[in-house]
Structure 1
């Protein structure tokens, strides 16, 4: 069981969440290629997802009245899939369901400060009509690319978020356009710039479909394995002790050396502005309609 996080406590608990052999595999500099992974290796990495997700959930915590990442993850991979499965839906998806899925996306991956408010601004009637059209289109055509394009017409819904909505309707075949899945399936396991456009999603979907057929696994399980390979490896690297610092000889006492060096600093407001601009750039790349709406307001 993990405790409230400080960086040191978190890393120690990450280590205890996995076996020694697993940590050794994660520490490898190379990510296992998706076109070489065996069914046994896939299953082994998939089994590590719950512990990794719980560790990250505990590290992020949750505000009063806010769902934890673990609770959101259960909704995304269990409740939503059982409720909205195209073959046997219990009810139709509504705006509140989309907002919960978007909250999961923001907590599970990169945080976009304005995404949830944009999604919330969609009229419920428009959401219902768009979802209904997309469901019928996908059922009749099995065209994931076209369905994602249709869903991306909603405010705040770019190809990545649209693919998430599609994924809970067809968990077996439709993959969510996550950073980790794209890095693993399309970038050789290396982090690279993502434009979040429909062509990138199509490329990701093609690679995912090939893996689904080769290993007889689901698209959502591919997401989880990619998350373990990309996130788990990074955490394992963070957990490595800095042996250079630990073994370095202590420096001789020098009053002058102990005085902090003056350096140019950036105010908190400037730091926030810089971070916000970067996040807004990523959001507009994922959803071009946001860029257009800004122009209209000028």
Structure 2
């Protein structure tokens, strides 16, 4: 079978995007089970709760401010989400707290305002990376919550899916190469599929889902012809009190 990234069939992309909720819940459950086996406390908040916050609550909170910006508490929680969802590096969770509230609010405000004006993603990532403990990957998570249409999060699985056989480079150059491929794919999917306005964040989520579903042994959901939203809200809600509906609430109509 061809890789997802090389696939031109939008049904397969929709299937992965629709299955995101089921796969993120499976990963969250696995982390809870691992903690129990190690006789450690249950993660609080759980990955599912953190992801629901990042995908659904944070974008609205950020965009409700004028000018838009991220607070110190939100940046710390975003880092917690990123480390819980991917590779856990406790030192980063500590270092992010050393930034002042003023520096985080000013830096994110300036990055958002500048990008909204000139669409210079490299400059925005560079600006955010001036904060302590913030590299291109974390900076991309900040940008993705504000500009999902053109700023994909730099998840390891998504990078590998978009650039197979190439070692991940956690650099500004490495991120820009990845972002270029993902935004180009989003444009191609939009041109082929008029029922869903594909964003860079959608593509990134679908790539992540495709990879983790295989790792966790989760069967992808069936995408119907009329599917135009992402996140598998119904399946996630049926399995847990918290549902996940990434990207759907943040698409520009």
TM-score where L is the length of structure 2? 0.75
Secondary structure at 2:133 match in 1? coil
What is the RMSD of the two structures over their aligned residues, measured on CA atoms? 2.0
- Quick check: 1:129 aligned with 2:106? yes
Segments of structure 1 that go 5 or more residues without pairing to the other structure are 1-29, 238-298
Q: Is the 8 A contact 2:26 2:216 kept in 1?
A: no
Secondary structure at 1:114 match in 2? helix
Task: Name the CA distance, whole Å, in 2 between partners of 1:49 and 1:209.
Answer: 19
Task: Name the CA distance, whole Å, in 1 between partners of 2:22 and 2:216.
Answer: 13
- Write out aligned runs for 1:170-249 (5 A): 170-187=147-164, 193-216=167-190, 217-236=198-217
- Quick check: 1:37 aligned with 2:8? yes
Higher alpha-carbon Rg: 1
TM-score where L is the length of structure 1? 0.64
Q: Is the 8 A contact 1:76 1:168 kept in 2?
A: yes
Q: How many residues align?
A: 203
Segments of structure 2 that go 5 or more residues without pairing to the other structure are 36-40, 191-197, 219-253
Q: Is the 8 A contact 1:167 1:174 kept in 2?
A: yes
Task: Name the CA distance, whole Å, in 1 between partners of 2:208 and 2:43.
Answer: 27
- Write out aligned runs for 1:85-164 (5 A): 85=63, 89=65, 92-164=69-141
Task: Name the CA distance, whole Å, in 2 between partners of 1:218 and 1:75.
Answer: 19
Task: Name the CA distance, whole Å, in 2 between partners of 1:31 and 1:227.
Answer: 16
Task: Name the CA distance, whole Å, in 2 between partners of 1:31 and 1:82.
Answer: 36
Residue-by-residue CA offset, 1:127-162 (whole Å, 9 max, x unaligned): 122112112211111111110011000000000000
What stretches of structure 1 move > 3 A for 4+ residues in a row? 62-65, 88-92
Residue-by-residue CA offset, 1:103-145 (whole Å, 9 max, x unaligned): 1101111111201111110011111221121122111111111
Task: Name the CA distance, whole Å, in 1 between partners of 2:141 and 2:89.
Answer: 16
Tell me which of the two structures has the higher relative contact order, counting C-alpha pairs closer than 8 angstroms and 6 or more residues apart. Answer: 2
Q: Is the 8 A contact 2:157 2:211 kept in 1?
A: yes
